[in-house]
Structure 1
Amino acid sequence: MCSIWTSVGFIPPERALDAARHRGPDGSGEVRRDTAAGLLVMGHKRLSIYDLSDAGHQPMVSSDERYSLVFNGAIYNFETLRSELEALGHMFSTQSDTEVLIAAWAQWGIAALARFNGMFAFALHDARENRLTLARDRFGEKPLHVTAWREDGGTRFACASEIGQLLEALPERPKLNRRVAADFINAGATDWGDETFFDDITRLPAGHFAEIDLSNPLPTPGEVIQSERWWTQPAMDPSLARPETAAEALRPALERAVKLRMRADVQVGSCLSGGLDSSGIVLLADRDRGEAPILCVSAIFDEELPGGGSISERPYVDMVADAARIERISVTPDDDAVRETFDSAITAQGEPFASSSILIQNLVFKAAHQAGLKAMLDGQGADELFGGYPGMAGPHLADLALSADFGAWKRTVDALCADESDFSPFELFRATYSNILPFPVRKTVARFKDGWPPRPWPAGPAALYPPPLPVKTRGANRFDRLIRAMTGAVSLPSLLRYEDRNSMRFGIETRLPYLDAEVSDIAFRAPGSAKIADGETKRMLRLALDGVVPEPILRRRRKLGFSTPEQRWLNGPLADVVEDAFAMLERDWTGFIDMHEARLARTAMGHDTKAAGMVFRLTAFAHWAKANGISG
């Protein structure tokens, strides 16, 4: 795990290499190669997780000096790959996954990517072919930002783990990408595509690689990066349609995924929210913890929701503590901590973020860092892969209605609304209707009723909202297609960005068992009937964790995650932040933001959670723009 930097055609300023030194506090290195395209510079800041000796430092160069590599991430199955490569004649001098990656590339080339079970973003130079290859893991757990520009009559190129590194190197500050900003402000969209909030800075797409020819001068900036996909979501397997069958395949795969991620040369802790996903990980990890208890960090708020009910996860965290040998750290920030964290989170994220939950996540990793942790497990990806979000019930109900199985539709609605849940019958009826009608039709109806664009919607027409569902594949219904969209474009990419920046801000590597190659392949192959059945979401996952997770957690219906008292914060510790943001919007952004709509949201934020979310996004955008010297 680290911060990487690669550039072609110029010598980057030292501050560009150091702009993300928080990602790699344990060592640094640099190699330079003269090429026909210009000087190649590969820099690295190391966070030591495997092989803590100096032998694991990067950039790592192969013994024959053909390959030079800077690598961010972890190849969890590197020990298995090393044994296979040794049988093929390769020799190793370190205990690092980095050396295994180089040998795998020398043996299999691009085909090595499909053999890696892990998270990665890397740049690899092949001196014999004079080619630079960039690659990113299947889900994009690890970031890789790229940019190219014209300078001194030639094309320059750079890629880096964080945008801030590129901003330090570019001759001019990029302009705001207004399409991305509008979708963020209006709909809360972040990381829905490969564009960033900065014009001319993009992300290498997840599951892609790119090859750059350095034997000739670089082409025009727009032609430097031509990426290709190396991984696609697996097709569905009808044999996994029953929840019980899918769970039988999932349980051992999940056990292996957690066990792989517990392997490290440093202590591995875990985030623990008290929900199904993180509780399952902690209780499976408890079996491989060795003698020491697992250090778990939880965010606890003993507060009531505005509409009634509690956001406290304390009782569920207590259940996990009773069932496993863990050491607990609880994070309950006071108002001063919330206020102080806002500014640091703006800096750490590099781009605006849509929810105050990111502040809590930041504080969780800060507490983990203070406790000495350098690696942690977390549960990102489970909701997307197994259908855990409340809004995902609508497509499933629409599928039932379109199949004319109204009895199943009624039973599902009744079950979803039973006991304490996130649903009401009217909301589910509306969700069914909304998911049956194509979006253009719904948009036309809403416009006829003066309901489009939605209000408040202050940043003009959104370019990407709503994101299209993937092209319908054989056997895929609305729910299946939504699962694939959530993991590939809509939800998971933003959560991975938040997680990576918040954890690496404190030099912590997060490991996500639900995104394991074997686990996620099973999840994709299992049809929606295995994931939501008889009114129960995440059915196959609940069955897989039956006997592992305490029954009250296994049957929980309400989803909280990192829930926060956002409305109170906006009127309390963040009130001055909001005030400053709206002053900046009035002064600098009236050509982009409709301030009448913005003020409507601010007036309603005390009693309307959607309005509160809008105010938070406007506030985050204004302060991010100020921090990056961007104005309207």
Structure 2
Amino acid sequence: MCGILGGWWQRPPAKLDDILGQAVRSLHHRGPNDCGLNLDTIADGRLALGHTRLSILDLSPAGHQPRISGNGRYVLSFNGEIYNYRELREELAQRGHTFSTDTDTEVLLTAWEAWGVAALPRLTGMFAFAVFDREASLLTLAVDPFAIKPLFWRHDPERLLFASEQRTLRVLADESARLDWQSASDYLVHGVYDDADTTFIAGAKRLPPGHLLQWRPGTGQAPSVSAWWSPPLAPSSTLSFDDAVDCVREAFLDNIRLHLRSDVPVGAALSGGIDSSAIVCGMRFIEPDLPIHTVGFVASNSPKSEARWMEYVNKHVGANVHTVSPNPQDLSRDLDDLIRTQGEPFGSTSIYAQYRVFRTAREHGLTVMLEGQGADELLAGYQGYPAYRMMSLLETGRFGGALDFFRRWKNWPGRDGMHLLRHTASLWMGDRTYHALRARIGKTISPSWLRNPLLDEAGIRSDYPRIVPGSAPPGRRVIQQLGTEISRRGLPALLRQGDRNAMRFSIENRVPFLTRDFAELLLSLPENYLVSPQGETKHVLRIALRGIVPEAVLARRDKIGFETPEQNWLRDILPQVRTWIGEADRIPFFNTPALQADLESIMSGKTPFSWQVWRWINFIRWFLIEDIRA
């Protein structure tokens, strides 16, 4: 795991060396073991590729980057891990290529030399890299199918810049950051963020999952951004359910085996839910003698605590257990560092729980952590995407099946039948009716705590940024929505948050559920393999893990995860919250008196509590800490 950065300047600033040095230092936490820069003169401009290294495979100096191919044609700066590098190395060696290191970086560079863009589908791993072809004068930026490893970029007529983190991109730009008002509005009003290639910073873009950017310096042309992978929607599997169970079990264990490849200590984040328990128990199943370290968040004195489930799994695998139980005062103390770590606003204090888990892992000498991110989005977790399942059944004429599914689904704990009916109906609605329904149930688009005329004058869209279901094969609405959450809304935000929290403490976080082959297998299956007719989520995985994960865990009907007692935490530090909210008057579109009045109403219990309070705090502190210009 590393940090990458670079760019091309048609008119290099006089202090370019200082800018690059500062940019490299800003990524030190992502790669504290080594760093490097490569500079070329290209099209009468200056091209720089930079790198900071966190040593995971082949800890020797042979892993130094940027790396230049043996023939001098290609220069590579790579962040991530190629888990199947040994298999690729053997294949490339059979084609006559030779190797001087045991690094996945050398394998990636050789694969690019051999196959070019066609190498991307051959890679099993998480990656963001920049490779410059000196002969063709072509710069390529690429990210893995899920953008587990981030890459930000910006372009104007005289330069193109890129980096692993927003703050580094701003250093390279050597200018103040301006707020993207539309992103701010979507986040503050609707809680939507990280769902597009735009960011909270005007002009800065993120390379979307499964995409690559190609650009020739000095041509005056804009970069070309295209998808090299997207989630498949069409049913392609003819497997029986029993055969699908066998395939899912084998593929999952293969993923765990690959993700355990490391030359440094490996641990796992454990919440006690099915996903993290599957990883921990899979580690034990594959490596009976492996010392397993787990790190978990415990919400003390809270009904949201999963301590008993964590204890159950830890005992089952004989783990070395590390837990953390932060309190409201800890959150207050760590808030500014957490916000700097994330670089952009985020959804809730559950991200603080994850932050503390990675800090605890570092304190106990762990450098690689496995976590269960992505399982919900591949296996129809959460509550099973029931509205989309209902839509699939109804549009294929299975009306009795839809009614039976509704009756069975709503009997599970924490599920609301009326909400399901409203959501199902909304999927068939046009925009006008949809937004009218949201307003009817209290989802305002023009809250009093914003100066809405100012936003209107700036041309800011106030409606909920709805993603309307497009064309999909009949009966594949759940799969379609999973594809949306994998690539557009949901998973990208979760992966961003995990990457920043882990790298803050120089830890590589691995997500074994998220490989292209596993995703394509799961998305090819019939929907009722993922969500059973009884409303059980992750149906095929639960059966596949029998004999690996304790039956009591597989039979769980609730879902909590790293959920914090947010309302109690914020109430306990209410004086500090009031101070933070009072600083809103430094942001032009906030109506601070109305904001303060709404805060008091919520915290006194007159208005129902929601994550809105956190969004206010997070945005205001981020705006001020990062010195953003409105």
CA separation of 1:371/1:456 partners in 2, compared to 1, >3 Å: closer, same or farther?
farther
Q: Match for residue 620 of structure 2?
A: 622
Q: Match for residue 416 of structure 1?
A: 409
Q: Match for residue 484 of structure 2?
A: 485
Q: Match for residue 547 of structure 2?
A: 547
Matched, 1:248 2:238: no
Q: Match for residue 230 of structure 1?
A: 228
Matches within 5 A, 1:329-368: 329-368=322-361
1:76 aligns with one of 83, 92, 111: 83
Secondary structure of the residue that 2:209 maps to in structure 1? coil
Deviates more, 1:119-128 or 1:426-435: 426-435
Q: How far did residue 408 of structure 1 move?
A: 3.2
| 2:177–2:627 contact (8 Å) kept in structure 1 | no
Secondary structure of the residue that 1:373 maps to in structure 2? coil
Q: How far did residue 379 of structure 1 move?
A: 0.5
Q: How far did residue 86 of structure 1 move?
A: 0.2
Matches within 5 A, 1:191-270: 191-214=194-217, 217=218, 219=220, 223-237=221-235, 239=237, 243-270=241-268
CA separation of 1:241/1:537 partners in 2, compared to 1, >3 Å: closer, same or farther?
farther
Matches within 5 A, 1:447-466: 447=439, 452-453=444-445, 458=450, 460=452, 462=461, 465-466=464-465
CA separation of 1:449/1:148 partners in 2, compared to 1, >3 Å: closer, same or farther?
closer
1:229-252 Cα offsets, whole Å, 9 max, x none, are 111222433535865443222110
CA separation of 1:39/1:417 partners in 2, compared to 1, >3 Å: closer, same or farther?
same
1:427 aligns with one of 419, 426, 439: 419
Q: How far did residue 448 of structure 1 move?
A: 6.9
How far apart are the structure 2 equivalents of 1:519 and 1:411? 30
1:291-348 Cα offsets, whole Å, 9 max, x none, are 34211101011333xxxxx211111112212221311101111333222221111000
Q: Match for residue 114 of structure 1?
A: 121
Q: Match for residue 436 of structure 2?
A: 444
CA separation of 1:205/1:109 partners in 2, compared to 1, >3 Å: closer, same or farther?
same
Q: How far did residue 39 of structure 1 move?
A: 1.1
Deviates more, 1:347-356 or 1:171-180: 171-180
Q: How far did residue 290 of structure 1 move?
A: 6.1
Q: Match for residue 41 of structure 2?
A: 34
Q: How far did residue 67 of structure 1 move?
A: 1.3
Q: TM-score, normalised on structure 1?
A: 0.92
Q: Match for residue 579 of structure 2?
A: 580
| 1:177–1:199 contact (8 Å) kept in structure 2 | yes
Q: Match for residue 157 of structure 1?
A: 160
Matches within 5 A, 1:51-90: 51-90=58-97
Q: How far did residue 129 of structure 1 move?
A: 1.6
CA separation of 1:450/1:616 partners in 2, compared to 1, >3 Å: closer, same or farther?
closer
Secondary structure of the residue that 1:316 maps to in structure 2? helix
Secondary structure of the residue that 2:46 maps to in structure 1? strand
1:481-523 Cα offsets, whole Å, 9 max, x none, are 2111111111000000000000011111111111112211112
How far apart are the structure 1 equivalents of 2:525 and 2:91? 30
CA separation of 1:448/1:415 partners in 2, compared to 1, >3 Å: closer, same or farther?
closer
How far apart are the structure 2 equivalents of 1:365 and 1:609? 35
How far apart are the structure 2 equivalents of 1:595 and 1:252? 58
Q: How far did residue 125 of structure 1 move?
A: 1.3
| 2:271–2:296 contact (8 Å) kept in structure 1 | yes
How far apart are the structure 1 equivalents of 2:313 and 2:628? 46
Q: How far did residue 412 of structure 1 move?
A: 2.7
Deviates more, 1:502-511 or 1:394-403: 394-403
How far apart are the structure 2 equivalents of 1:452 and 1:336? 32
| 1:185–1:459 contact (8 Å) kept in structure 2 | no
2:174 maps to a residue whose letter is P
| 2:271–2:306 contact (8 Å) kept in structure 1 | yes
How far apart are the structure 1 equivalents of 2:443 and 2:75? 56
How far apart are the structure 2 equivalents of 1:618 and 1:496? 22
Q: Match for residue 504 of structure 1?
A: 503
1:161 maps to a residue whose letter is S
How far apart are the structure 2 equivalents of 1:78 and 1:500? 22
Secondary structure of the residue that 1:612 maps to in structure 2? coil
Secondary structure of the residue that 1:515 maps to in structure 2? coil
Secondary structure of the residue that 1:182 maps to in structure 2? helix
Q: TM-score, normalised on structure 2?
A: 0.92
1:94 aligns with one of 97, 101, 104: 101
| 1:341–1:362 contact (8 Å) kept in structure 2 | no
| 1:145–1:160 contact (8 Å) kept in structure 2 | yes
1:379 aligns with one of 364, 372, 375: 372
How far apart are the structure 2 equivalents of 1:48 and 1:451? 48
How far apart are the structure 2 equivalents of 1:354 and 1:449? 22
Deviates more, 1:458-467 or 1:347-356: 458-467
Q: How far did residue 42 of structure 1 move?
A: 1.2
Among all aligned residue pairs of Structure 1 and Structure 2, give the percentage whose two residues are the same amino acid.
35
CA separation of 1:103/1:390 partners in 2, compared to 1, >3 Å: closer, same or farther?
same
CA separation of 1:21/1:525 partners in 2, compared to 1, >3 Å: closer, same or farther?
same
Q: Match for residue 307 of structure 1?
A: none
Q: Match for residue 558 of structure 2?
A: 558
| 1:601–1:614 contact (8 Å) kept in structure 2 | no
1:549-586 Cα offsets, whole Å, 9 max, x none, are 1122112121111110100111113x34422332111x
Q: How far did residue 353 of structure 1 move?
A: 1.0
1:17-67 Cα offsets, whole Å, 9 max, x none, are 111110001111111111115111111110001100000111111122211
How far apart are the structure 2 equivalents of 1:489 and 1:565? 28
1:549 maps to a residue whose letter is V
Query: What is the number of equivalent residue pairs in this alignment?
Result: 615
CA separation of 1:266/1:311 partners in 2, compared to 1, >3 Å: closer, same or farther?
same
Secondary structure of the residue that 1:510 maps to in structure 2? strand
Secondary structure of the residue that 1:355 maps to in structure 2? coil
How far apart are the structure 2 equivalents of 1:179 and 1:538? 35
Q: Match for residue 190 of structure 2?
A: 187
| 1:5–1:42 contact (8 Å) kept in structure 2 | yes
| 1:458–1:598 contact (8 Å) kept in structure 2 | no
| 2:161–2:169 contact (8 Å) kept in structure 1 | yes
The root-mean-square deviation of aligned C-alpha atoms, in Å, is 2.4
Secondary structure of the residue that 2:237 maps to in structure 1? helix
Q: Match for residue 16 of structure 1?
A: 23
How far apart are the structure 2 equivalents of 1:267 and 1:49? 9
Structure 2 unaligned segments of length 5 or more: list them.
453-459
Secondary structure of the residue that 1:135 maps to in structure 2? strand
1:68-109 Cα offsets, whole Å, 9 max, x none, are 110000000000000000000000000000000111011101
Q: Match for residue 103 of structure 1?
A: 110
2:472 maps to a residue whose letter is T
